[in-house]
């Protein structure tokens, strides 16, 4: 039987295997590494992972982290597998803020530091800097992950400090933060408004803003 073309192996076979096996396949050769790292491959692999038999839930409990398959018929959890944190942290310290294509943006609750973390490969990147970028304050900030046309994964961090709005973008490609212009309604700067985590859909990053009162949510906008 003739050898299969590399493109067929990568996009027709490897897009159907678990993410851990994809990670191992990257070490085969430079050509495979390049193809398996493209946004096209990631997009196809993620879409084929959305079938019910591949659904998993990541649970963080105190000092442990586990991944559990979901039984589609009953929505019950099957036996879990333990995921080892690759970074040092305190008890009940890690909060998941946003996710995209298996990549998580998490926060340390005691230091407010932001991290990018891939639970499958265990790779992580601390995003905090000496000039105060990459620190997240709950109920005041919002975070969202997105990827641009050049396959550069980015973190959008919206910060509210004393009625002043600051919006910053971290680029994984250049490993740095930059400030960007951002216009919103003045009332949304108030702590009475809660900002959701960003949701990346159709090439756009969406946030929901809701006004909160003691009795519950009053109104909200999507932008």
- Give the range of the structural domain holding residue 198, as residue numbers without chain letter: 89-211
Within this chain, do residues 151 and 95 fall inside the same structural domain, yes or no? yes
What is the distance between the alpha carbons of residues 119 and 68, in angstroms, rounded to a whole number?
13
Within this chain, do residues 124 and 27 fall inside the same structural domain, yes or no? no
Please state the φ and ψ torsions of residue 58, each to the nearest 5 degrees: -100, 125
Within this chain, do residues 44 and 94 fall inside the same structural domain, yes or no? no
> Per residue in 27-46, pLDDT tens?
888 888 888 877 788 778 77
Is residue 114 within 8 A of residue 127, CB to CB? The reply is: yes
């709005």: which residue's tokens?
165
Per-residue pLDDT at 76 exceeds 70: no
Per-residue pLDDT at 1 exceeds 50: no
In a domain, 65, yes or no: no
In a domain, 107, yes or no: yes
Within this chain, do residues 206 and 107 fall inside the same structural domain, yes or no? yes
Nearest Cα neighbor of 19 from 39, 32, 36 is 36
What's the average model confidence in pLDDT over 8-35?
81
In a domain, 140, yes or no: yes
Number of domains making up the chain: 2
Per-residue pLDDT at 88 exceeds 80: yes
């Amino acid at each position: 039987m003739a050898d299969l073309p590399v493109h067929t192996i990568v996009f027709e076979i490897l897009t159907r295997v678990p993410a851990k096996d994809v990670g191992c396949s990257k070490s085969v050769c430079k050509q495979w590494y390049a193809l398996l790292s493209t946004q096209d491959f990631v997009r196809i692999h993620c879409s084929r992972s959305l079938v019910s038999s591949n659904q998993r839930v990541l649970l963080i409990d105190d000092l442990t982290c586990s991944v559990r398959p979901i039984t589609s018929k009953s929505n019950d959890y099957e036996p879990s597998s333990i995921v080892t944190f690759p970074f040092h942290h305190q008890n009940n310290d890690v909060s998941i803020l946003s996710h995209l294509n298996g990549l998580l943006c998490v926060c340390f609750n005691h230091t407010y530091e932001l991290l990018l973390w891939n639970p499958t490969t265990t790779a992580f990147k601390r995003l905090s800097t000496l000039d105060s970028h990459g620190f997240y304050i709950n109920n005041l900030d919002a975070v969202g992950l997105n990827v641009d046309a050049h396959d550069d994964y980015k973190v959008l961090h919206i910060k509210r400090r004393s009625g002043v709005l600051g919006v910053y973008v971290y680029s994984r490609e250049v490993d740095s933060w930059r400030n960007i212009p951002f216009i919103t309604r003045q009332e949304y700067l108030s702590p009475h408004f809660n900002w959701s985590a960003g949701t990346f859909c159709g090439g756009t990053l969406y946030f929901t803003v809701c006004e909160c009162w003691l009795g519950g949510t009053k109104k909200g906008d999507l932008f």
